[in-house]
A = this chain, B = another copy of it.
Amino acid sequence: MFEKKETRPEPAKQRLTSLAELGEFGLIERLTREVKRFHPETLKGVGDDAAVIDMGEKVLLVSTDLLIEGIHFDLTYMPLMHLGYKAVVVNVSDIAAMNGIPAQVTVSIALSSRFSAEAIDEIYAGIRLACDKYKVDLVGGDTSTSTTGLMLSLTILGTVNKGDEVYRSGAQEGDLLCVTGDLGSAYMGLLLLEREKSVFKANPAMQPELSGFDYQIGRQLRPEARTDIRNMMVGTGLKPTAMIDISDGLSSDLLHICKQSNLGCNLFEAKIPIDEQTRELALEFNIIPVVAALSGGEDYELLFTISQKDYDKVKDISGISIIGHMTAASQGKNMITPDGHVVPLTAQGWDGMKPER
């Protein structure tokens, strides 16, 4: 056996590092810095939307996500079927972000005895619906009781022809920065649901006022993955130089591309696509709309860079906005406001280690 070690979180003989202090990305960096590789087939490990494994003509893409009750979702307003659907979608989105085609998924589920088999049926109905929509085979998993709450852990596999996979690290100086769809609506949906939950807690006789906000609520409770973008790009012969999906928020995810590509960026605030109703809703909540887009997260849109020479190919694909360009690292990571001010971009997005936003 190993040398003797203490079994409980240690008494405070020395100052220990709290998880919140480290943050999710700090923790991942700390845990993976000494990782060895034994298999030359492992082309990419930790540090992108998916791991990449050489399979001959194709590469295999592997990504995994945890969804934990009380951290990632709240069953007060998240229906179980939507939860199952969303769990698959967020994984499919990671494969889309690598320019891959999703293929198989494993679903592990832990839940306390307060859940009935019928409740789990609901979750799986959502899982199956998403598997049908995105053509993913459910190939395995594990089930367990938990002492408290509900937890889902999914691992998705996808493939793409070797060389067609797109990493966060491939952006070049001068590349155009593009984003699909619009941003910030999922976050405003979350704030709406949280507000109505507080109202209900204060007075259960009150009816929730969610009507008219189907778009924002839908973006939060039932997001979709942008697997359609790949087909449109393949059709026009377009291949992004770098790509990531927007799960943590535009600023945080853009900073990942900058860091991994060793570049800076100029992001034009006025170009960030925001739904008009989402903009009004943000103002009603006293939130600057662009902050919801920059830091809200969970949009599951794709953020990517393309070579300037591909401008003609991208400009005609509907639903894609060009929001900036990549610069040398020495230029910094900047947002340009409508009145021409240069503001440094900072990550304020979702951090799994700091759940209180």
Contacts and interface: CB of A to CB of B under 8 A. Distances in A.
A62 interface: yes
B55 A137 contact: no
A1 B218 contact: yes
B62 A55 contact: no
A330 to B, nearest CB: 31
Nearest to A34: B128
* Most chain B CB within a 10 A radius of its CB, from A19, A111, A140, A218: A140
Given A17-B116, A144-B71, A39 B353 contact: no
Interface string A331-357: 000000000000000000000111100
Interface stretch (A3-11, A178-186, A253-261, A273-281): A3-11
A62 to B, nearest CB: 6
Measured as residues with beta carbon below 8 angstroms from the partner, the interface class of chain A is 35 or more
Interface in A13-46: 16-22, 24, 27-28, 30-32, 34-39, 41-42, 44-46
A146 to B, nearest CB: 6
A31 B285 CA distance: 41
A174 interface: no
A79 interface: yes
A111 B355 CA distance: 12
Chain copies in the assembled complex? 2
A58 B60 CA distance: 13
A38 B136 CA distance: 7
B36 A131 contact: yes
A161 interface: no
A118 B16 contact: yes
Interface of A: 1-2, 4-10, 16-22, 24, 27-28, 30-32, 34-39, 41-42, 44-46, 50-51, 53, 55-58, 60, 62-66, 68-72, 75-82, 85, 103-104, 106, 108, 110-111, 113-122, 124, 126, 128-129, 131-132, 135-149, 151, 153, 155, 157, 214, 217-218, 221-222, 352-355
Which 10 A-B pairs have CB atoms at the shortest separation, nearest pair first? A16-B116, A153-B153, A51-B139, A17-B117, A155-B155, A45-B139, A38-B135, A144-B352, A5-B79, A70-B147
26 contacts: A1-B214, A1-B221, A2-B222, A5-B80, A9-B115, A9-B116, A10-B119, A28-B143, A37-B137, A42-B137, A45-B140, A53-B103, A53-B104, A60-B157, A62-B104, A64-B153, A64-B155, A65-B142, A66-B153, A71-B110, A72-B144, A106-B155, A146-B151, A147-B149, A151-B151, A155-B155
